[in-house]
Amino acid sequence: MTAVGDILPPSRTSFEVAVAAGMSDTLPVPLRQVMNPLEAPESFLPFLAAHFSVDLWYSDWPLSRKRMMIANAIPLARMKGTRQAAIDFLAYVDGALVDALAHPTRFAMGRGIVGRTPIGHPPFMARYLVKVETVKEPRAFVLGRGIIGRSIIKASARVPLGRCLEALKVAKAPETQIRVDFAHMRPVTFGDGFTFSDGLTFGRYVDRTVLS
């Protein structure tokens, strides 16, 4: 196969020779591999994420999660502003969408009967009920906090909460505001219809399933 430099005239300059060498089809750059998020070297992934306009990224993510975020960047971008986008983006930060409520919607009329009234709910406001693990191992500074109702066994980690908030900001439509409720547990009440044989007692908590 004829190289590009072989067809240059005898009067070629050193600059022209260098440019011709750069136009070779045998450059030692694995372009197909580098541009594939599932095969690119780990050190190149941040640059690839910027190339695909990835909006949610954390350097301490597992390698597999980084690759999947880049690979799904375009489909995720198309879903922004939908409930599914909130679900998908939350999954990348280990969060789960339990319930969502937004008004105005075409089903807003008459919902006050079942206790989910849009009265007083601002327009273009979405409310989310999110479940995420926020408990970490206790540290030394936790000792001495064993006041009534404040356990010394577990301490809350705020990092997962912040990441869920960031994920929902990325997932929402630009004109939409959000409010996020992380209280995905509630105290047991008589209205739950439990019996003591169920193992539930007052002071215990059960999962919340809807926003109220």
The pLDDT tens digits of the residues spanning 186-200 come to: 777 666 666 556 565
Report phi then psi at 16, rounded to 5: -65, -35
The model's pLDDT over 44-103, given as tens digits with 9 standing for 90+, comes to: 999 999 999 999 999 999 999 999 999 999 999 999 999 999 999 999 999 999 999 876
Confirm if 205 and 187 have CB atoms less than 8 A apart.
yes
- What pLDDT is attached to residue 12? 85
Its domain, for residue 211, covers 80-212
Using an 8 Å Cβ cutoff, are 137 and 190 in contact?
A: no
Residue 56: inside a domain: yes
Q: Which of 79, 97, 116 is the last residue of a domain?
A: 79
The greatest distance separating any two alpha carbons of the chain, rounded to the nearest whole angstrom, comes to: 97
pTM (2 decimals)? 0.69
Phi-psi label, residue 141: left if phi above 0, alpha if psi -120 to 50, beta otherwise: alpha
Say whether both 156 and 84 belong to one domain.
yes
Same domain, 64 and 128: no
Classify residue 24: in a domain, yes or no: no
pLDDT at position 143 is 42
Looking at the fold, whether 119 and 201 belong to one and the same domain comes out as: yes
**In terms of domains, do 67 and 100 share one?**
no
Q: Quick check: is 11 in a domain?
A: no
